[in-house]
């Protein structure tokens, strides 16, 4: 309990610039509204579920999270995971899935699994982000179809394209002139003014669903609490938890670099989980950290928790008192915004590094992108990418094991091993020795190597057996303490034939 309290104590000791924090929080809250609505629509849910999720996620993670200044809310990564379940079983199953995903994230944080983020290679991150960008872009194509599913034509299509293009132009061009307010918000307001002024007949958020609401209502998901239900929602919850943690920890690392401070990944994982649990019980679609909003917040100078708290509270004010205006927002503006989000999310730098990257890294990046786009399973894409990258690493290191050979003045042959001895390098290791032609005594020096796994132990067992059968002695020199311990632990199942010469005491030499 004491460790838990120490881990989750409030970090309000840092200096707070109240003016900067409050203004930045208000700015972020304005930017959260259109994106929360748009992401909810991507998932096929009511815009209100996205807004409720943004409020709950933002408030809880701002207070309890491991990265002051980072913003959480409803995100496209989570929306993509939930869209299939929402279409097949409805919103109540979404709420249950969000709660279960939160429990998984809390468990991951308590088990301190945040450190596993260091195992995700850069090509996997590139592929993950690029795949997510493509999915967000493709989801916007539905706005160019009629209610019957046919592609729009004629004046209605040209009007929609014009409004979308104007939105994108403002989002792209306004920051070059001023960054006082979020360009996405200004773009939406301009499109809203154009539609109202010229009485343009175009689809609005209100045409999709009403977002009028009050304080998020507490609601236990109305689903049958059976094993069949658990089997249905658990895969979605697991994917959502994994995607949420990956995106949150990626965002945390980015904010760390910008602020030149260090966040706490495990603490953030628990906060994200707790926020998702509450989001599911308070009618929200759940979410994770938001890269765009976090960058808006930090670029405005916010460094403390206050900015995130202000953003969440102001978002609730908009829900309770500004729903009438939000329902009149043109869908064209949201479509243009989401297309710009996809363009901004895509790692265009990955193209410029292709000629400089190894072919294996390019393969991993493309594979992760394709899995993300075609399977809509971001967690699976990352796992596949990590596995492929690990296998490539193992293969490369398997080829790097070398043996430098020489015979000393006493007629003893030395094999100086370079590179790790593990399952991938065992066959190459065995080829280094000339058992029949070697002298009566040899030394295998591991000063520049390491015995890694059971396959390596078995290789040592086999090579000592081969020399023993022809009456020759083998000494293992400069084994590290962990390697010696590994050999000792294996004695019950493998007879490692290690001969010690009292003159050298080789098996216990230290590097």
Collapsing DSSP states into helix, strand and coil, what is residue 9? coil
- Position 309 scores a pLDDT of 95
CA 125 to chain centre: 8
Half-sphere exposure of 224 (CA within 13 A, CB side): 7
Both tokens assigned to 81: 């995971």
Q: Is 192 exposed, middle or buried (0-12, 13-18, 19+ CB in 10 A)?
A: middle
Class of residue 228 by CB neighbours under 10 A (exposed 0-12, middle 13-18, buried 19+): exposed
Q: Phi and psi (nearest 5°) for 66? A: -95, 5
What is the Cα–Cα distance from 339 to 38, expressed in whole angstroms?
A: 11
C-alpha 206/C-alpha 505 separation (Å) is 82
Distance (Å, whole) CA 358 – CA 356: 7
- pLDDT given for residue 13 in this prediction: 54
Of the CA atoms within 13 Å of residue 459, those in its CB half-sphere come to 23
Above pLDDT 90, what percent of the chain? 28
pLDDT at site 497: 52
pLDDT for position 59: 96
User: Can you tell me which residue has the tokens 């081969």?
Assistant: 466
Token pair listed for 89:
């079983």
Helical (H) or strand (E) element with 72: strand 72-73
Helix (H) or strand (E) holding 218: none
Averaged confidence pLDDT in the chain:
84
Distance CA 3, CA 12 (A): 19
Check: CB of residue 50 under 8 Å from CB of residue 36. Answer: yes
Q: Which structure tokens are listed for 323?
A: 């729903």
pLDDT at 294: 86
Which is higher by pLDDT, 207 or 10?
Answer: 207
* pLDDT, tens digit, 9 for 90 and up, residues 230-262: 999 999 999 899 889 988 987 888 788 778 888
Tens-place pLDDT, residues 101-130: 999 999 999 998 877 777 778 888 888 778
Q: Given this model, what pLDDT does residue 38 score?
A: 80
CA-CA distances (angstroms) from residue 366 to 119, 243, 344, 384?
Answer: 18, 18, 19, 12
Which two three-digit tokens encode residue 11? 């970090």
Longest dimension (CA), the chain: 99
pLDDT at site 125: 80
Do residues 86 and 260 make contact, with C-beta atoms less than 8 angstroms apart?
no
Assess whether pLDDT exceeds 60 at residue 428. Answer: yes
Q: Which residues of 144-178 are buried (b: 16+ CB within 10 A; e: fewer)?
A: eeeeeeeeeeeeeeebbeebbebbbebbeebeeee
pLDDT in tens, 296-355: 788 777 888 999 999 999 999 988 888 787 778 888 888 888 888 788 778 787 787 777
Residue 181 pLDDT more than 80?
no
Calculate Rg over the CA atoms of the chain.
29
pLDDT at 364 over 70: yes
């Amino acid at each position: 309990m004491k460790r838990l309290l120490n881990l989750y104590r409030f970090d309000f000791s840092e200096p707070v610039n109240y003016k900067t924090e409050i203004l930045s929080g208000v700015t972020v809250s304005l930017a959260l509204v259109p994106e929360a609505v748009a992401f909810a629509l991507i998932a096929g849910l009511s815009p209100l579920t996205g807004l409720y999720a943004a409020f709950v996620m933002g408030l809880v993670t701002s207070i309890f999270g491991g990265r002051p200044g980072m913003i959480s809310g409803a995100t496209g990564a989570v929306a993509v995971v939930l869209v299939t379940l929402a279409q097949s079983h409805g919103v109540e199953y979404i709420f249950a899935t969000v709660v279960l995903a939160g429990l998984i994230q809390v468990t991951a944080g308590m088990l301190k699994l945040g450190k596993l983020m260091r195992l995700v290679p850069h090509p996997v991150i590139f592929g993950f982000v690029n795949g997510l960008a493509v999915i967000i872009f493709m989801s916007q194509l539905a706005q160019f179809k009629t209610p019957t599913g046919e592609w729009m034509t004629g004046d209605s299509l040209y009007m929609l394209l014009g409004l979308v293009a104007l939105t994108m132009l403002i989002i792209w061009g306004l920051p070059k002139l001023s960054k006082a307010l979020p360009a996405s918000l200004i773009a939406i307001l301009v499109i809203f003014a154009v539609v109202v002024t010229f009485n343009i007949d175009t689809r609005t958020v209100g045409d999709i669903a009403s977002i009028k609401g009050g304080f998020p209502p507490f609601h236990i998901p109305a689903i049958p609490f059976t094993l069949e239900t658990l089997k249905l929602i658990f895969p979605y919850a697991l994917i959502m938890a994994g995607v949420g943690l990956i995106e949150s920890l990626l965002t945390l690392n980015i904010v760390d670099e910008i602020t030149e401070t260090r966040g706490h990944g495990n603490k953030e994982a628990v906060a994200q989980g707790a926020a998702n649990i509450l989001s599911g019980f308070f009618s929200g679609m759940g979410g994770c950290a938001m890269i765009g909003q976090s960058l808006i917040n930090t670029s405005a100078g916010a460094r403390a928790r206050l900015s995130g708290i202000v953003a969440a509270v102001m978002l609730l004010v908009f829900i309770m008192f500004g729903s009438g205006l939000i329902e009149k927002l043109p869908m064209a503006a949201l479509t243009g915004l989401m297309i710009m989000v996809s363009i901004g999310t895509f790692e265009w730098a990955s193209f410029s590094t292709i000629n400089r990257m190894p072919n294996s890294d390019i393969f991993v990046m493309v594979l992760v992108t394709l899995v993300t786009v075609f399977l809509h399973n971001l967690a699976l894409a990352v796992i596949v990418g990590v596995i492929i990258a690990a296998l490539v690493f193992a293969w490369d290191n398997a080829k790097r094991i070398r043996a430098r050979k020489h015979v000393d003045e006493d007629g003893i042959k030395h094999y100086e091993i370079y590179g790790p001895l593990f399952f991938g390098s065992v066959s190459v290791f065995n080829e280094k020795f000339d058992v029949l032609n070697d002298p009566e005594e040899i030394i295998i020096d591991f000063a520049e190597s390491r015995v890694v796994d059971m396959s390596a132990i078995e290789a040592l067992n086999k090579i000592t057996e081969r020399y023993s059968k022809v009456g020759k002695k083998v000494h293992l020199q400069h084994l590290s303490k962990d390697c010696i311990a590994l050999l000792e632990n294996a004695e019950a199942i493998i007879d490692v034939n290690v001969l010690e010469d009292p003159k050298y005491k080789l098996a216990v030499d230290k590097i």
